[in-house]
Structure 1
């Protein structure tokens, strides 16, 4: 006869040191009389957690697993269980409440800090309380220009990624990032301390100035504001030059083979939606080197 058993544990408080992790899986076992192991299922773990650990903002608290039953205590400004928050009916926010939204969003970092006025720059905004869902983002402007959130790049409460529209003013001034979560009232609006600037990338020199038609030359293109924006593509004539790296003054790429043989070839940069050219700066394709003789033609074998 097979009997089923139910083990009831006493109500005990378990603890682990440190706040480096918000939850910690631990081994689960059934022990008889202190030292006799009845069972220790290898796949079964008990999960210990602390609401406060690694959840020091309202957004991080409310995005925690609903199984933890953590909520944001407004009076304490801490992530707590309901029973640890005074007057939870008024002060305890939790994901189960209708239209719950964290106030006081904050921007801690934006990148990049420069881009072309033609737009297309993908701007990453990091911070806290940046909404629990992307649909909560009511308004994003970068230096006064609309920036459209990219749903697939959004990280709840922590990161907004958006694509810049074109700056329509001829000389658009720089400025901070401004965004609103839900509504644009004072407690749901924030502005970055960093500022974003519109720049005009340009180049006026290449090194080396020539290379073989078969390609493979490591080419350095020099100019100004060449690290602006979020993406760059280099073309030699109509073929893409394999990107290696870039700084404010240089872009390095590996030349493609020439489809039209030897001769001068134009250079074009696509930095986001900006097209950058220079009529005075070209790269010259030369015929591939050939070997006509070897001197000496013999050697002594030891």
Structure 2
């Protein structure tokens, strides 16, 4: 077979015969028909960009596309056969080409291509290397930071880089390209918890396959917290309780605008938060299981001002415990339930008056202890600690004399141990407390007060308010005072030896 090229002249639409005519011989051939048709016109292409690896299904829209025969697309200088076509659309897969802009045209006879000037952009496909966080609630709304390469900041789905979660494209309003290496995407809602493949798209159709996954988890639910009051200095632990069904290593709390606060998932029902310092007043308290999505239930934590504490009264108590001390504090206008803290040991307190509390001291080794005020079950709110001295309990071993007249005035020598300090007291019975003179740590002297005849227990105290006493049960006897009202005989030898009988008052 031989071929002879011919240039077809312009002609009206329709079918005409085509033949050969020899100018050197007397013969003609008219056995081929040629179809004149309206030239195709391409008006739009979608999408207008794709990866350099090719394979993007490009839909060319226009008119005068014949529904028979083979249609061809040409990307730059590279022709490809159409995959589908109708009278108004032709679909072609983009070939692999280098990055850049090229013209895309169509032909219905593989020879005559349109001259529409439509352009298609080849881009390097985006890649995702790091995704953070990798978990979020099923309700969606998690802002995911994606680090990678070749991100495009165009705003439209057709032109920019966008995220897809489990084949669901995230709209242009929630995908934001920060740079060519960083973008942020907001997760859509999921019908149920589970893993979702996170992919990137350059045109809303094609997407990457970097095997990055995002895990949808049940949303945390907060029911309450305790305590909801604490010191402006922080340091207290608040337990938030509710439903936290996702075991996470990225648990944290947020107080007001302070995020990323240290926390731990105690159980599926409890999260503990270590409260930071904060200005006095109520603030919102939230928790997160992924370090990003915080709960938004109305949960207010009240920061109290630090108290200036004065006292204690008394300043010394016995090591055996049980002493009552009072503390004054300012500001005094608090409604919070308060407690005393003795060397980090909380003890109950009661309000004695506005700005004053009392508490019973616990047992402790002799020495000095720090005394503070705290919110009940919360942290210390004292601006500074005050000092409480614990002393060894005094021991009374011997009394001399062990009896005296009911009028008192007898000086009693109290022998024992641990009679120390500047203030020593004696107590005879339950009510009669007198100051004593300390001779040494083993001896003190006190003057017996008047008392009805009978036996009483003498105890010693070394506290500065005579509040706590020894427990040794040393007995002192009060006897009725008597006087001589007569003598028989009334005279005798100056050499002595006379026996005189005295008559005493009743």
TM-score interval, normalised by the smaller of the two chains: 0.3 to 0.5
Higher helix fraction (1 or 2): 1
Larger relative strand fraction = 2
- Which of structures 1 and 2 has the larger relative contact order (alpha carbons within 8 angstroms, sep 6+)? 1
Query: Which protein has the larger Cα radius of gyration, Structure 1 or Structure 2?
Result: 2
Give TM-score scaled by structure 1 length.
0.45
Per the normalisation by structure 2, the TM-score is 0.29
